[in-house]
Structure 1
Amino acid sequence: MDNHADTQPSEHHYDLTVIIAEEMASANLGLIFSTLRPSDYPAVEFLVCSGSDRTLLADVPEKPNVRIVTAQSDNRIPLLWADGIREATAHKIALTTAHCVPTNDWLDRLLAYPMDGNQVAVGGAIENAENDTRIGGVIYLLRYVRYTGARPSGPARDLAADNALYRKADILAHEDLLKIGFWEPSFHERFLAEGKSLEFDNQLVVVHHNCYTAKQFVRQRYSHGIEFGAARARTMTGPRRLMMIALAPLIPVVFTRKIMASARQDNRFNLGLNREMGWLLVFVLAWSAGEAVGYIRK
């Protein structure tokens, strides 16, 4: 049997499903699976969700507990996560992307979380590869500055789904959100409104190994910005949506200030006027333009 073929979930009971969204990062799959060692964890199900050509997924091992899930719509990461969540057979699901490589104790830590009571999610830290490129460093600053290992562990209101554990049933309870993809801010808001809790654990670590080119990431930011804006617009009244459209030129300012405020709390980031800051502004503008389009399109 070809374990790389799309199959129905097996009858095997798994304690955990790991969902790896692969978007333009197939080059990291070999390193990811050499770290995860699926053969050593038969009680863990591994799903690689991807819209890439199968020839690019050759480093996905052929194991009984490893499957490739072909994208049902497109290969944006939140939609790939949604595909994986629906396919998962365990009640606990861990989300990450192929741009992140877990540390050696990652799976053991995930398996140890009981995930009972009001606790619906645990998110971990995301560090950056030491030898990352300039573009990779800027992407890390833009996306993960609030989730470094320097952030104290404890109760949280926001987590990065690129390194997070959830209870599957709690996600499936909000199908109206999941049908447009797993955009974690919307789910976290719902969970907190229900009285459930989120936890940040700075010992649960993945390492960011960027594979995007600058051009690819600009397109990704613009596309994700549209979906984010459209998702928010669906919950707004007409007057509020018009107000957000009118205030759209301020989105880059607000976004950049948030990034800068978070970065100032960690002395590893150099926030001087340099080429990196130029790329940061380009990426922020791409997202902001997309978000404004999302409010308009709804």
Structure 2
Amino acid sequence: MVEDTDQKLSKRQYDLTVIVAEEMASANLPDIFIHLQPEKYPCVEFLICSGNDDASLNGVPDNQNVRLIRARSDSRIPMLWRDGIRAARADKVALTTAHCVPSQTWIKQLLAYPLEGEQVAVGGAIENVENDTTIGRVIYLLRYVRYTRARPGGRADDLAADNALYRKADILAHEDLLEIGFWEPSFHERFLAEGKRMTFDNDLVVVHRNCYSTKQFIHQRFSHGIEFGMARAKVMNAPRRLMMIALSPLIPVVFTRKIMAAARRDKQFNLGLNRDMFWLLVFVLAWSIGETVGYAKKQETQS
């Protein structure tokens, strides 16, 4: 593994850069790289973006096409993706996190997508690991229930960046958004407004394998909510931000209803919703409070 500070890094161009954002999930890295097999893909660059202070991050192979991008210890996943996108040497970037283990065909599938013309992104399905814990199952429901393999493939208005391929140039064209991290909903809105096209492919699969503790995920939801609120507020005018603050008590209601509606469409989740509802509500409230704080902070900076 080569660190980004090494002056001897090759300047070669790659066909694809894979960016793995590692946040409290280093335990999954050995299995992730068993599936990625970087030694078999010299045309692919692999970047591990992490704020982990572990000197080596066990499980990351020592290959010329594998690099570690160091970040601040408090960097969240969107900021880690941002750092990886800026450091990438390929024109196409594939994003994921260390909480997701890719399928063994993932790299081959990514290399096959041309991303030409108005096609700016392809996103894939996220399945949950079998026999998961209650917390892992609820985190999956909260974050990925809309992106199971049961979702039909085709043109899409939204994708999960935890399993998605983008043209790097289209991301870099929106530096005002990238400055505060790669928050995919804001970028997707821009892409669609520009007439670009995104596609969901339910055969492009990663498996969610949660590593967060309950306390870590509550803190992660709250801090992510703050950052998301500030990112959204950045592209809003003052009246719109004030309206979002006023409507903030509805955020958990709207959020929970969306999750439950998506779960009902995929019958494998129906039995688990009642049992897991308490933790689902806790996590939704943590995010909602954080998002409201984010809107308010941005409003204060504009006053």
TM-score range, shorter chain: over 0.9
Does 1:117 find its partner at 2:117? yes
Partner Cα separation in structure 2 for residue 208 and residue 27 of structure 1: 13
AA at the equivalent of 1:6: T
Question: CA 1:262–1:75 in 2, change beyond 3 Å: closer, same or farther?
Answer: same
The count of corresponding residues between Structure 1 and Structure 2 is: 297
Deviation at 1:73, TM superposition (A): 7.3
In the TM superposition, 1:123-134 aligns within 5 A as 123-134=123-134
Per mean C-alpha deviation after superposition, the further-off stretch among 52-61 and 79-88 is: 52-61
AA at the equivalent of 2:47: L
Partner Cα separation in structure 2 for residue 81 and residue 132 of structure 1: 26
Residues 17 and 90 in structure 2, CA contact (< 8 A), matched pair in contact too: yes
Does 1:78 find its partner at 2:78? yes
Deviation at 1:275, TM superposition (A): 4.1
In the TM superposition, 1:88-107 aligns within 5 A as 88-107=88-107
AA at the equivalent of 1:194: E
Deviation digits for residues 85-126 of structure 1 (CA, Å, limit 9, x no counterpart): 000000010000000000011000000001110000000000
> Which residue is 1:27 aligned to?
27
Deviation digits for residues 7-28 of structure 1 (CA, Å, limit 9, x no counterpart): 3652122100000000000000
Partner Cα separation in structure 2 for residue 53 and residue 228 of structure 1: 25
Question: Aligned with 1:264: secondary structure?
Answer: helix
Question: Aligned with 2:267: secondary structure?
Answer: coil
Q: Please, which runs of 5 or more residues in structure 2 have no aligned partner? A: 299-303
Question: Aligned with 1:52: secondary structure?
Answer: coil
Deviation at 1:273, TM superposition (A): 6.3
In the TM superposition, 1:125-204 aligns within 5 A as 125-204=125-204
AA at the equivalent of 1:284: V
Per mean C-alpha deviation after superposition, the further-off stretch among 23-32 and 222-231 is: 222-231
Question: Aligned with 1:96: secondary structure?
Answer: strand
Per mean C-alpha deviation after superposition, the further-off stretch among 197-206 and 234-243 is: 234-243
Question: Aligned with 1:253: secondary structure?
Answer: helix
Deviation at 1:271, TM superposition (A): 5.2
RMSD: 1.4
- State the TM-score, normalized to the length of structure 1: 0.96
Deviation at 1:242, TM superposition (A): 1.5
Partner Cα separation in structure 1 for residue 214 and residue 73 of structure 2: 24
Residues 52 and 73 in structure 2, CA contact (< 8 A), matched pair in contact too: no
Deviation at 1:272, TM superposition (A): 6.0
Residues 6 and 67 in structure 1, CA contact (< 8 A), matched pair in contact too: no
> Which residue is 1:7 aligned to?
6
